[in-house]
Structure 1
Amino acid sequence: MGRGRPVEALILTADERGYLERQVRRHRVTRSLSERCRIVLRCADGMQSKQVAAELGLSEHMVGKWRRRFLHDRIDGLLDEPRSGRPRSIDDDAVAAVIERTLQTLPADATHWSIRSMAAATGHSHTTIRRMWNAFGLQPHRAETFKLSSDPLFVDKVRDIVGLYLSPPTHALVLCVDEKSQIQALDREQPVLPMMPGMPERRTHSYVRHGTTSLFAALDVATGAVIGKCYKRHRATEFLDFLKQIDGNVPDDLDVHIVMDNYATHKTPTIKAWLARRPHYHVHFTPTSASWINQVERWFAELTRKQIQRGVHTSVGQLEADIRSFIDRHNANPKPFRWTKSADEILAAVRRFCQKTERTLCTEL
């Protein structure tokens, strides 16, 4: 005959399981509550207390304690009981007044509130204001930019280009084409001091310009390989020459789908005539003010971060040589960018943002 007390089965409702899983995923939940939720979820999966303790690195006594607490009080049993201590000196109304003032007013001498200016205006300490703002996720010192496309064909173009990324046509090549213009060859007025233990790399804020170059690039969506060439200018003449370079690197039996923006250089009569003579070329224009949909912009960001931003170049020739070297190294082991959002998901996100913006404007009016 077996020994020990029988263990009562722990069965969760759908709402309880959903709540527990949300607490485990949340970043701002206390570690203790997240740990208790994990214990209950493992027990609900039929695991014994000894197994749960071994998996989570806890004592068997602790697992049994929170299992019993949950069986007795359900979700409420996982929460900490009120503890003795000094009562709150700031009630909910005072907190609500600070949050409302933060969201709806501005200081007379600044464009946004700071912790100390709000503390001076409300009479609370700056640490109290900090705790209130942290609790509500408020950061008045931060600001982000946005721009919505006003292209009347925005929906159609998004579906067209995202469709190319997620389901490219067979026996075809999809290239994202654009130019990064006016790349400056910058030299520092004084030598760069290298990084040392406990000290970052240091450079002067002032610089000397040695000219500019413009990079035309085409990113192969399937492989991640890049065709690139630098020019002194970025006119239709240079763009046509770059298209010819692309044509020379593409097999004649493949259709070529080019994704590019609405820059005037891309739509001159010369460019249109060149493309018209090649029916296997298909152009897909991105929506206006939507450069994020062109994957080559992501590669330009890599080029800027890894090669240009902290580079020191004493001539345009040196800058162009570094860019060519970067392209060669990239193409030696190319990796494509993985597009994850469907057109429906993108359009739904834009719709939610527009609705949120509209509600904000209506509130202000």
Structure 2
Amino acid sequence: MAPSADTNSSPHNCPRRILLVSVPRTASNLLVRVLNVHNQPNVLTNELAGYFFLKPFLMSSREFKKSPHEWTAAERALVREAYQNALGALEDLAARAEREGKTFFIKEHATVIVNPDVADPPRDAGHKPELDFFRLPLPERYRSSSSSSNGAAAAAAGTFSPNNHTILPDEYLATWRIVFVIRHPALAWPSIYRTLHQLVERGLLEEKVLRVDGGSSMSLKWTRAMFDWCVERSQAEGDFPPPVIIDAHEVIHSPGAVLQFCQAAGLDPAALQFEWPTEDARPKKSEETAVDEESRRIFLGTLMASKGLIKDKTPATVDVEAEEVKWRAEFGDEAAKMIAEKVRDSMPDYEYLRARCVLG
């Protein structure tokens, strides 16, 4: 898919805002590094370049240690409050970017912003999920000033069209320039399993969580639905730009694709970087717990120790059957079988999205 020619349009006259949607182990942090987001001229982001909604998402594994459909009413309320607080913190920084006349950039994993009742519905077919419970109201600054008193409640609730499975209303998503990064499932799935297994070995994650989750956040169906939502919105609204998507292989092997992606997202190509100093000695963040610090080092270890692009991490061709042999040797037969099943289940969504990347 060719990038939009108009990279400066802002839907509904909202400030420039870029949302990079990913899933874990798709080289999204590498892409942020290559785009040099923290040193882009006239761009504002936080230290992590996003992840505002990660805390409520992690509650199920770190605190509740069970699936969302098993949460108590009190636990559901805590997650709902955490999502609302995350949106408030995000909007506070977005407001600062607007005051300073800067573009606001964040990255979020697709599953992190998916409605928990959609991502993991009740197993009992007779019990319908309460989809409205986790749907956040549209922040007041984005509501239409022409709404009548009778329409105020509807304006506050916002709209959730069929392909919007997130906690955020259509009207709010439409204030963002939404871009995507993907990676071949046969590379991404074993990577997340390997990472989660390291967390288990170090006592940072319970074995039960690894068995229950097993990388469920890796599903590309939510990315595909959000991509399709963007396409539909672009076709219906002339001022909403079409989505742009890049594959991790292009990030590593094709500077031209990165350039196209950068321009389509509305960032400055002159700031792109393909080499950088290592971060092995990076100090612990002020509000980071020991668990958070160790988890960060496990998830970002390769990137932190690198000085540039490591091309053998993403080969040009991927033979799933050959990779499965490697998984059996590394993880054992049971885990390898699970990974292979997940990879094959993910391939239709991956191939759909891959065909629509900047280089097709």
TM over 0.5: no
* TM-score (norm. length: structure 2): 0.27
* RCO comparison, higher one (Cα < 8 Å, 6+): 2
* TM-score (norm. length: structure 1): 0.27
Please state which structure has a larger fraction of its residues in strand: 1
